[in-house]
Amino acid sequence: MSEAHSEELLRDVASLPPLPGVYRYFDADGQVLYVGKAINLKKRVSSYFQKNHGGTRIGHMVSKIVRMETTVVRSEAEALLLENNLIKTLNPKYNILFRDDKSYPYLKMTGTPLVKRGAKAEEAENVSGKKAAQPAEFARVSYYRGGVEKKHRYFGPYPSAWAVKEAILLMQKVFRLRTCEDPVFSNRTRPCLLYQIKRCSAPCVGHISAEDYAQDVANAEKFLRGDAQEVLKGLEARMMAHADKLEFEQAAELRNQVAALSNVLHQQSVDNVSDRDVDILAVKVQGGKACVNLAMVRGGRHLGDRPYFPVHLEDAAAMTANANEGDEGDVAATPAASVEAQVLEAFLAQHYIGVPMPSVLVVSEPVSKSLLAALSQQAGVKVSAVHQPREQRRAWLDMAQTNAALQLARLLAEEGSQQARTRALVDALDLALDNLDELRVECFDISHTAGEATQASCVVFHHHKMQNAEYRRYNIDGITPGDDYAAMRQVLTRRYSKLAETLAEAKHTGQTPAGTGRLPDIVLVDGGKGQVAMAREVFTALGLDLSLIVGVEKGEGRKVGLEELVFADGREKAYLGADSAALMLVAQIRDEAHRFAITGMRAARAKVRVGGGKLEEIPGIGPKRRAKLLQRFGGVRGVGLASAEDIASVDGISRELAEEIYRALH
């Protein structure tokens, strides 16, 4: 095997030190093939070049290696962390890779439970003569996704938006915490509907004191952290104290709260106060695919689960087995490690990069001590893994394993039907493709309302599924409003002009620069002869293959299933048939492009109509002028509907500034 490699590469291999580190293999195009870690770099890397791997997956990969990079680290734990950071960054073909889908939602509490009022707040009074309630005094619960801030409290993460919304509903039912935004809170003069249905204690109009509301917030936080029984006992004690003082109305309120909390605890049969924060992970491998089901327990409550599906499974499994053999004594993974164990360890190492993790993991496969040490080092707390749990943990793991099997079965069924659709489309268009997995379709659609906020969308179908991360939106400007042909010309030119230049240069020089993309196999445009003719003009000007362009022309009466395909290279129209699997795939891609375009158009239109919701973005508009405008016209939308003359009538707004405001909002 080593005879096929350059002397420079073999010298680099021979000069490696017997130290822990991470290595990367590159092919002739500069693409990363594999990222690995080793306790002994020299022994591990040499094993790839000293053995004859034949026609195996490993041999195929090794034959492509033309360059190598290594990084020496101090320990195996550091090697593990660096290896998986690089895997996430470089996306190598021969590693088990989990897509970066870690944007978990949280339950957020804004404000502080109890804030001392300043002198101005003490003096402020509403129309009823009571002290005006300040939003900061009354914490708000809300759904949140994004980076956390220290000034607020966050609970979670939760596996799904549904789980967060269930928790918020619980906060409303039991503790009657507010969910309204601060501007709404500040401008209430009477309780809203949530107060009427006993989902809020109406702090906005003084129906509860700041001290009592703070007590409810404190109890809610204890409950979310798993101290439900402590909260229940505290409420019962307060209820009895009010009853002893003959304060029966207050006692009745607490009695209702106790009943609601008791009902919640009774319904949540999976609660276990001995386990506060636990992640449960189960792996299922079948049919060349794998699923990791991650279930979350937070505050002693099971919050639900989420499936994850790795890519590059078969190639990576073969590579890992070879790596194990090349490093005797490596306890991170042994030659006997199953594919399930390899998938689980890859998930643990990649998933918890930059994500808070609990100190206890319940797992369906054994986890190496070195990986746990690396996770502990990264998390800052000792992380332990329970492989063969008992009692409640056993029930949780069984549930996760069942869900992993169900999710994997669903994926295999979906992929089977999707692959059949891909094959049908390739056959229908007579495409010369050796590998169906490589079929790439890019679809374009134009969306606007009477010419306003025109946007073009580009969606991508690849590897038998829509690739959301590769979607793109294009703001279309400099055209006559409503001219869809000009919009299509602009988006296709912007999408392919640079790639066309690169490919033309590569054809001339005979060398393709590393990282150069490739043209799709099909360029789908939502439209008939007119849009296809425009696409043909663009491709002709760019020197691209006209056979790539396919238009989707609506059939008679614009009925679904009657669409025809229009080609730019002179072929006759094609009707695939209402029940055609190929047409189903075309319709799926076309509909996704339309959905993506129209959502972007609506967002852009809303921003134009209300000035992005921030009048301060307009030069010359500060807080005082903004307040006067909002007071005069009743809100940002009212300002947007006003004429320049009306805006100029506001105190402090000159004619020039009024015209600037009008232009900005229109």
Q: How do the domains of the chain map onto residue ranges?
A: 2-90, 105-116+124-267, 278-409, 436-607, 614-665
Q: What percent of the chain has pLDDT over 70?
A: 83
Residue 95 CB: number of other CB atoms within 10 A?
Answer: 26
For residue range 353-406, list pLDDT tens digits in order: 877 788 999 999 999 888 998 899 888 889 999 999 988 889 899 999 999 999
With a cut of 80, say whether residue 187 has pLDDT above it: yes
State the pLDDT at residue 513.
66
Q: For 50-70, write each residue's pLDDT tens digit.
A: 777 666 778 888 888 999 999
Kindly report, residue by residue over 80-119, the tens digit of the pLDDT: 888 988 988 888 888 888 876 657 788 888 865 544 444 4
Greater confidence, 165 or 631? 165
Query: Which range among 221-225, 324-328, 449-453 has the greatest average pLDDT?
Result: 221-225
Please report the pLDDT score of residue 544 as a whole number.
92
Residue 246 clears pLDDT 60, i.e. is over it: yes
**Structural tokens at position 480:** 């006559």
Q: Which residue has the higher pLDDT, 605 or 170?
A: 170
Quote the percentage of the chain above a pLDDT of 90: 22
**Cα angle 278-363-287, degrees, rounded to a multiple of 5:** 130
User: 309, 370, 363, 326: which is closest to 341 by C-alpha?
Assistant: 363
Bridge partners (DSSP) of residue 259 are none
Query: Superfamily for 2-90?
Result: GIY-YIG endonuclease (3.40.1440.10)
In this model, does residue 460 exceed pLDDT 90? yes
Tens digits of per-residue pLDDT, 411-422? Answer: 888 878 888 889
**Can 278-409 and 436-607 be said to share one CATH topology?**
yes
Instruction: Decide the pairing of beta strands 301-308 and 289-298.
Output: antiparallel
Residues β-bridged to residue 142: 108
Quick one: pLDDT band at residue 127, thresholds 50, 70, 90?
very low
Model pLDDT, residue 612? 41
Identify whether the C-beta of residue 573 lies closer than 8 Å to the C-beta of residue 528.
no
Task: For residue 263, name the pLDDT band (cuts at 50, 70, 90).
Answer: low
CA distance 172 to 177: 5
pLDDT at 391: 85
- Are the C-beta atoms of residues 234 and 210 closer than 8 Å to each other? no
Residue 316 φ/ψ, nearest 5 degrees: -70, -35
Ranges 532-536, 539-543, 636-640: which has the least confidence: 636-640
Q: What value does the mean pLDDT take over residues 216-242?
A: 79
CA dihedral 576, 579, 581, 583 (to 10 degrees): 40
Which among 237, 271, 275, 277 is positioned nearest to 254, based on CA atoms?
Answer: 237
Residue-level pLDDT at 329: 41
- Rounded Cα distance, 513 and 495, in Å: 19
In 3-state terms the chain splits into helix, strand, coil percentages (rounded to 5) of 50, 15, 35
Average pLDDT, the chain: 81
User: Which amino acid appears at position 268 of this protein?
Assistant: Q
Least confident of 23-37, 214-228, 253-267, 644-658: 253-267
What are the angstrom distances between the C-alpha of 508 and each of 496, 524, 538, 544?
18, 28, 21, 15
Strands (DSSP E) contained in 499-584 are 522-525, 549-553, 564-567
Confidence of residue 609 (pLDDT cuts 50, 70, 90): very low
Q: In the structure encoding, which two tokens stand for residue 52, read together?
A: 């004859």
Domain 436-607: CATH superfamily is: UvrC, RNAse H endonuclease domain (3.30.420.340)
Spatial distance between the Cα atoms of 79 and 86, rounded to a whole number of angstroms? 10
- Between helix 339-351 and helix 76-90 the angle, nearest 10°, is 80
In angstroms, rounded to a whole number, what is the distance separating the alpha carbons of residues 346 and 615? Answer: 48
Q: How confident is the model at residue 331 (pLDDT cuts 50, 70, 90)?
A: very low
Q: For residue 540, count CB atoms less than 10 angstroms from its CB and return exposed for 0-12, middle for 13-18, buried for 19 or more.
A: exposed
* pLDDT for 539 beyond 90: yes
DSSP states along 248-304? HHHHHHHHHHHHHHHHHHHH-TT--TT-SSEEEEEEEEETTEEEEEEEEEETTEEEE
Q: CA nearest 150: which of 102, 103, 105, 112?
A: 112
Q: Tell which wins on pLDDT, 227 or 346.
A: 346
Query: Would the pLDDT of 616 be above 70?
Result: no
The CATH number of domain 278-409 is 3.30.420: yes
For domain 614-665, give its CATH number from 3.40.50.2300, 1.10.150.20, 3.30.365.10, 3.30.390.10. 1.10.150.20
- Range of 480-489, 558-567, 602-611, 613-622 with top mean pLDDT: 480-489
Least confident of 63-67, 446-450, 562-566: 446-450
